[in-house]
C-alpha cells in the first residue's frame, strides 16, 4: 500500500508575478450539450463481466413510470465530463412525499455492478460518483451542482409514495473542456485499430483539459506534473493549446516550497497551493516540460522566467546523491514515483531520471546561452553515467539491477535507456534482451508504458513500438475503454493501487499519448502517408 508522505516544516513560496501570468491565461471552458444515446439494461455474465443485455432508444425515457425500487440506465454514448440536468415530474395522484432518488455515474459499466458501501481502500470513498437526492416539489428541472466524469447514469428511485411515481421527461449534460473535441483532426491509417486508438486518446486528452491539465476528471481532478508532461506532448500534436501549457508551467513555477522544490501536484481551489508531496522524478521532469514548450513556441520570455526553477530541481536532485554517487533507495516511500507496480524498486530508475533530466537541462542551457552551466551539467552527467554502470549494471545478466536485492524490472531498463547511459546500439540490444527475458516486475500504468514505447522508438524499433502500442492500448479498447485508464495491467485486470478498481480513474491523462506517438513518429496525420 502506498501512502502520501506529509512534509514537516512545509514552507510555501508563492511568486506573485508568475501566478498572475497563470491566472490571466485561465481558459473560458467550452460547453457542448449532449443527450443520452440510448437506455440500457445490464447483467453480469459467467465471466463476472458486466454486459448490456437490452437497449431502447433514449426517447423511451419520458414514457417510464418509476416506482419504489425501479431504475433506468442512461448511456451517453461515450465518456464525457460535465454537468447534468434532470427534468423530473410526478406521475399519478398528488405528490404527498418527497421523491428520494439515488444517482450513480459510471465511467465503465462494471462500476454499476459494484457497491460503494463495500469499498474499503485507502483513498477516500468520496471519489465514487454517487448521490442521494430529495426532490420536495415536482415538477423540477434539477441541475446537479457537481461535475461528473461518466458515460452511464443510473437513476434509481429509493422511495416515492403509493400515490405517485417519478417521471423523467428529459435528461442532458453540458460537456465542458478548454478545447473542442472536433478540433483535433483524426489520423488516417488503413489500420482501424490505430484509428480507434487515436480517437480514444484524443477523447481522453480532451476530457482532461479543463482549466488546468487534470490527471483524471473523476479522480484526482487536479494537476500532477508527471501527467502534465505527457498531456502537453499529446496536446502539441492535436489541439495545440499552448496557453494552457504555459499557464500550468507558471503555476508549478509560481508555487514552490522548501529549497525551491516543485510540488508533485497543485491545488487550484479554494486557492492556489502546492501539495506537500514531493516526487523526486516529477520535480526533475519539469525541465522537460519547459523544453518541449519552448521548442514548440520559441517563447523566450517564459523560458527566461522558468529556466532557473528547472535548474534548481536538478541541483536539489544532485543533493540527494550519496558517497557512491547514486540516489539512496527510497522504494516503499511515495518519493520517486516511476510506476504503480507492487514491489517495484525505484533506486536505479531514480538515478536514470536524474541523468535524463540533466540532458534536458543541457538543452535548456543551450537555448539560454548559459555556457558555464552546460559544462557543469555535462561533467556531472558523465560521472553519474559511470556510477550507474558501476553500481547497477549486471554483466552476467546483461541487465540493470536495482536496490540491495538487485531487482530486475522493466522500468529500470527503460529509464536507463532513456537516460542514454549506454550508446544507441547497446541500448537497442538491452531493450530486445529485456523483451526476451520478460522480467517478472512488469509495467502496470500507461505512464510507464509510454516510456517503454518511447525507449523502443529511440532504439529505432518503430515497428515493434507500434505492435506494443496496439497490444496494450488496443487491448484496453477490447476491454471496453471509451477513454484510456489510469492503470492497466494486462496480466491482472483488477489491479488497483488503492484497494479497489472502483476508485481507479478510467479517463486518465497520462494514458493519452498514443496520439502523440502516431503523429510525431509515424506521421499518420500527414495527408500523404498511410500505414
Q: Which is nearer to ligand RAM, 107 or 215 (CB)?
A: 215
First to last CA, the chain: 43
Q: Give ∠ CA 158-41-73 in degrees, rounded to 5.
A: 50
Among 76, 105, 150, 224, binds ligand RAM (CB under 6 A): 224
Quote the least distance from Cβ 246 to ligand RAM, whole Å: 21
Smallest gap from Cβ 236 to ligand RAM, in A, equals 20
Give the shortest CB-419-to-ligand RAM separation in angstroms. 20
DSSP 394: E
Interaction between residue 274 and ligand RAM (CB under 6 A): no
Stretch that binds ligand RAM, among 23-31, 47-55, 224-232, 459-467 (CB under 6 A): 224-232
Return the beta strands (E) in 22-147 as ranges. 30-34, 38-44, 50-57, 71-92, 99-106, 130-135, 140-143
Please state the closest distance from residue 231 (CB atom) to ligand RAM, in A: 10
Residue list 197-216, contact with ligand RAM (CB under 6 A): 215
- Complex with ligand RAM: residue 157 or 223, whichever CB lies closer: 223
**E runs forming strands in 447-498:** none
Supply the minimum distance, in Å, between the C-beta of residue 439 and ligand RAM: 22
Which of 172, 181, 307, 337 is in the footprint of ligand RAM by CB under 6 A? 337
Report the alpha-carbon distance of residue 501 to residue 503 in Å, rounded: 5
DSSP 324-360: TSS----TTSTTS-S---TT---HHHHHHHHHHHHHH
Q: How far is the CB of 486 from ligand RAM (least distance, A)?
A: 5
Neighbours of 478 (CB within 10 A): 8
* 517 part of the interface to ligand RAM, by CB under 6 A: no
Tell me, rounded to whole angstroms, the distance of Cα 374 from its chain centroid: 33
How many Å apart are CA 249 and CA 211, to the nearest integer?
13
Identify which range of 6-14, 220-228, 380-388, 455-463 contacts ligand RAM by CB under 6 A. Answer: 220-228
Report the residue number, 199 or 215, with the smaller CB distance to ligand RAM.
215
Encoded one letter per residue, x for contact with ligand RAM by CB under 6 A and - for no contact, window 465-504 reads: ---------------------x------------------
CA distances from 526 to 186, 434, 518 (A): 10, 33, 11
Contact between 281 and ligand RAM (CB under 6 A)? Answer: no
Residue showing cell 493549446: 241
DSSP summary character for residue 526: S
Q: Which of 220, 305, 339, 461 binds ligand RAM (CB under 6 A)?
A: 220
**Cβ–Cβ < 8 Å for 376, 486:** no
Decide: 58 and 35 in contact? Cβ < 8 Å: yes
Q: List the beta bridge partners of residue 400.
A: 393
Residues in contact with ligand RAM, total (CB under 6 A)? 8
Nearest to 197 by CA among 477, 465, 452, 480: 477
Q: Which is nearer to ligand RAM, 217 or 226 (CB)?
A: 226
* Interatomic CA distance for residues 371 and 369, integer angstroms: 6
Say if residue 451 is exposed, middle or buried (CB neighbours under 10 Å; 0-12, 13-18, 19+): buried
> Is the CB of 337 or the CB of 422 nearer to ligand RAM?
337
The region of 92-100, 184-192, 218-226, 365-373 touching ligand RAM under the rule CB under 6 A is 218-226
Give the residue with the Cβ less far from ligand RAM, 127 or 293. Answer: 127
Cβ closest to ligand RAM, residue 111 vs residue 486: 486
**Cβ nearer to ligand RAM, comparing 362 with 444:** 444
Asked if 339 is part of the footprint of ligand RAM (rule: CB under 6 A), the reply reads: no
Binding part of the chain for ligand RAM, among 7-15, 74-82, 222-230, 359-367 by CB under 6 A, reads 222-230
Query: What is the closest distance, in whole angstroms, from the C-beta atom of residue 2 to ligand RAM in the complex?
Result: 8
Q: What is the DSSP letter of 402?
A: B
Where do contacts with ligand RAM occur on this chain (CB under 6 A)?
215, 220, 224, 226-227, 337, 486, 510
Amino acid at each position: 500500500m502506498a501512502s502520501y508522505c506529509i512534509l514537516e516544516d512545509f514552507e510555501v513560496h508563492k511568486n506573485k508575478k508568475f501566478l498572475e501570468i497563470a491566472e490571466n491565461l485561465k481558459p473560458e471552458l467550452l460547453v457542448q450539450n449532449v443527450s443520452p444515446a440510448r437506455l440500457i439494461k445490464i447483467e453480469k455474465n459467467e465471466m463476472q463481466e458486466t454486459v448490456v443485455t437490452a437497449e431502447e432508444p433514449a426517447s423511451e425515457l419520458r414514457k417510464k413510470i418509476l416506482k419504489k425500487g425501479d431504475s433506468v440506465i442512461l448511456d451517453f454514448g461515450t465518456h464525457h465530463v460535465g454537468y447534468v440536468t434532470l427534468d423530473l415530474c410526478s406521475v399519478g395522484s398528488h405528490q404527498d412525499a418527497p421523491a428520494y432518488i439515488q444517482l450513480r455515474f459510471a465511467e465503465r459499466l462494471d462500476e454499476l455492478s459494484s457497491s460503494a458501501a463495500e469499498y474499503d481502500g485507502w483513498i477516500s470513498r468520496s471519489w465514487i460518483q454517487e448521490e442521494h437526492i430529495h426532490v420536495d416539489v415536482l415538477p423540477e428541472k434539477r441541475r446537479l451542482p457537481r461535475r461528473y466524469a461518466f458515460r452511464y447514469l443510473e437513476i434509481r428511485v429509493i422511495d416515492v409514495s403509493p400515490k405517485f411515481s417519478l417521471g423523467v421527461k428529459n435528461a442532458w449534460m453540458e460537456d465542458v473542456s478548454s478545447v473542442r473535441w472536433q478540433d483535433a483532426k483524426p489520423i488516417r491509417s488503413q489500420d482501424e485499430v490505430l484509428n480507434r486508438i487515436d480517437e480514444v486518446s484524443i477523447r481522453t486528452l480532451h476530457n482532461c483539459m479543463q482549466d488546468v491539465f487534470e490527471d483524471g476528471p473523476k479522480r484526482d481532478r487536479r494537476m500532477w506534473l508527471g501527467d502534465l508532461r505527457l498531456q502537453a506532448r499529446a496536446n502539441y500534436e492535436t489541439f495545440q493549446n499552448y496557453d494552457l501549457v504555459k499557464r500550468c508551467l507558471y503555476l508549478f513555477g509560481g508555487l514552490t516550497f522548501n529549497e525551491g522544490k516543485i510540488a508533485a501536484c497543485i491545488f487550484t481551489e479554494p486557492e492556489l497551493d502546492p501539495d506537500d508531496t514531493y516526487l523526486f522524478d516529477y520535480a526533475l521532469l519539469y525541465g522537460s516540460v519547459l523544453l518541449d514548450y519552448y521548442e514548440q513556441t520559441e517563447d523566450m520570455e517564459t523560458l527566461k522566467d522558468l529556466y532557473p526553477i528547472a535548474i534548481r530541481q536538478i541541483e536539489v536532485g544532485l543533493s540527494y546523491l550519496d558517497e557512491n554517487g547514486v540516489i539512496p533507495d527510497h522504494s516503499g516511500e511515495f518519493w520517486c514515483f516511476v510506476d504503480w507496480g507492487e514491489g517495484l524498486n525505484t533506486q536505479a530508475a531514480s538515478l536514470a531520471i536524474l541523468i535524463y533530466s540533466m540532458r534536458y537541462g543541457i538543452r535548456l542551457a543551450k537555448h539560454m546561452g548559459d555556457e558555464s552551466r552546460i559544462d557543469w551539467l555535462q561533467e556531472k552527467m558523465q560521472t553519474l553515467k559511470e556510477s550507474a554502470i558501476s553500481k547497477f549494471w549486471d554483466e552476467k545478466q546483461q541487465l540493470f539491477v536495482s536496490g540491495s536485492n538487485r531487482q530486475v524490472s522493466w522500468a529500470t531498463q527503460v529509464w536507463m535507456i532513456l537516460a542514454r547511459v549506454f550508446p544507441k546500439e547497446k541500448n537497442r540490444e538491452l531493450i530486445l534482451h529485456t523483451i526476451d527475458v520478460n522480467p517478472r516486475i512488469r509495467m502496470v500504468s500507461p505512464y510507464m508504458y509510454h516510456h517503454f514505447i518511447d525507449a523502443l522508438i529511440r532504439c529505432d524499433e518503430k515497428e515493434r513500438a507500434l505492435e506494443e502500442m496496439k497490444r496494450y492500448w488496443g487491448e484496453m479498447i477490447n476491454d471496453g475503454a471509451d477513454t484510456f485508464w489510469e492503470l492497466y495491467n494486462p496480466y491482472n485486470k483488477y489491479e488497483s493501487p488503492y484497494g479497489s478498481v472502483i476508485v481507479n480513474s478510467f479517463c486518465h491523462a497520462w494514458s493519452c499519448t498514443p496520439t502523440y506517438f502516431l503523429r510525431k513518429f509515424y506521421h499518420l496525420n500527414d495527408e500523404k502517408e498511410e500505414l
